[in-house]
A = this chain, B = another copy of it.
């Protein structure tokens, strides 16, 4: 079974829950703004992970659809607010919410999706799931939301700062990206009635593939071609973004190379390179210190560790799918 088929298998049910949750139409502009990115689609990796995790521990998936939809709404809420904060104008190939409805309505659309997400989790008890499990799932999802906020604050704090350590960087991407993916697999395992060991292992699996997902993003920025990537190669470099390559190089490089890299990332006016030259020179420094291979290896290592953790559940199509999804983190080209 192909990964995209697996995602498709679950996305119809998830979409149905999201549509029900967003069924209100008044006030119209608020709900139009809230639905904008939802309508743009997305692969539904996170909700599929909730459902597959519930299935993998031998549970039924029915009761997990609402929480799966909630996780997708939380992801969407964070995209809408991040785009305002980062002044990004495009998302999922469409104009960002704030560019159409303005920042006030975009803030509110995010808040609405956030509220609806918790409504969905709270409704999970209607699905024959014991209340104790619903509260555990709620705690799991809430914990990820707090981490998303902290991770985004860390990320904003990195701007213009170039003495970020590898562990600070990894902690940031854990909170900003991996925590919600870990909450997806963990809440799924909880709602599926998994043992404590299974719940913890699947939470760790989610964290590891979430980290791999983000690290692969860093890696793709310099190894893909522009067409595959859908944006120019090296745009992270041009934007001076912190990536695992950058933190690794900065910790390994000679003072001279470190200064040169910082100079390139800061896009200082005292270098006269054009963007292409900046990217080329940065990649040369990354390669000199093995940082590109290092990044790929870390992503690969996370995926391998994640797959090992799946031993905690019996063989099943869901387990197989989780294994394929782990590999998929490294196969995607955008």
A→B interface (CB under 8 Å): 24, 26-27, 29-30, 81, 84-86, 103-105, 107-108, 110-112, 114-116, 118-119, 122-123, 125, 130-132, 134-135, 138-139, 142-143, 145-146, 148-150, 152-154, 156-157
> A27 vs B283: C-alpha distance in the bound complex, in angstroms?
31
Residues of B contacting A86 in the complex (Cβ-Cβ under 8 angstroms) = 104
Q: State the main secondary structure of chain A at its contact with B.
A: helix
In the bound complex, do residue B150 and residue A27 qualify as a contact, i.e. CB atoms below 8 Å apart?
yes
Residues of B contacting A146 in the complex (Cβ-Cβ under 8 angstroms) = 112, 115-116, 119
CB pairs A–B below 8 angstroms (13 shown): A30-B150, A84-B107, A105-B156, A108-B149, A108-B156, A111-B114, A115-B149, A118-B145, A119-B143, A122-B135, A125-B135, A131-B131, A131-B134
In the bound complex, do residue A154 and residue B27 qualify as a contact, i.e. CB atoms below 8 Å apart?
yes
> A148 vs B125: C-alpha distance in the bound complex, in angstroms?
24
In the bound complex, do residue B142 and residue A122 qualify as a contact, i.e. CB atoms below 8 Å apart?
yes
Closest to A155 in B: B27
Closest to A85 in B: B104
Residues of B contacting A81 in the complex (Cβ-Cβ under 8 angstroms) = 107-108, 111
Tell me the smallest distance from the CB of A142 to a CB of chain B, in Å: 5
5 extra interface residue pairs, beta carbon distance < 8 Å, beyond A85-B104, A115-B149, A122-B142 = A27-B150, A27-B157, A81-B107, A104-B156, A118-B138
Which of B111, B145, B153 is the one whose CB lies under 8 Å from A149?
B111
Chain copies in complex: 2
In the bound complex, do residue B134 and residue A107 qualify as a contact, i.e. CB atoms below 8 Å apart?
no
Residues of B contacting A85 in the complex (Cβ-Cβ under 8 angstroms) = 103-104, 107-108
Tell me the smallest distance from the CB of A119 to a CB of chain B, in Å: 5
In the bound complex, do residue A139 and residue B114 qualify as a contact, i.e. CB atoms below 8 Å apart?
no
In the bound complex, do residue A153 and residue B30 qualify as a contact, i.e. CB atoms below 8 Å apart?
yes
> A145 vs B86: C-alpha distance in the bound complex, in angstroms?
25
Return the 3 tightest CB-CB contacts between A and B, nearest first: A131-B131, A85-B104, A30-B153
Closest to A126 in B: B135
Residues of B contacting A104 in the complex (Cβ-Cβ under 8 angstroms) = 84-86, 156
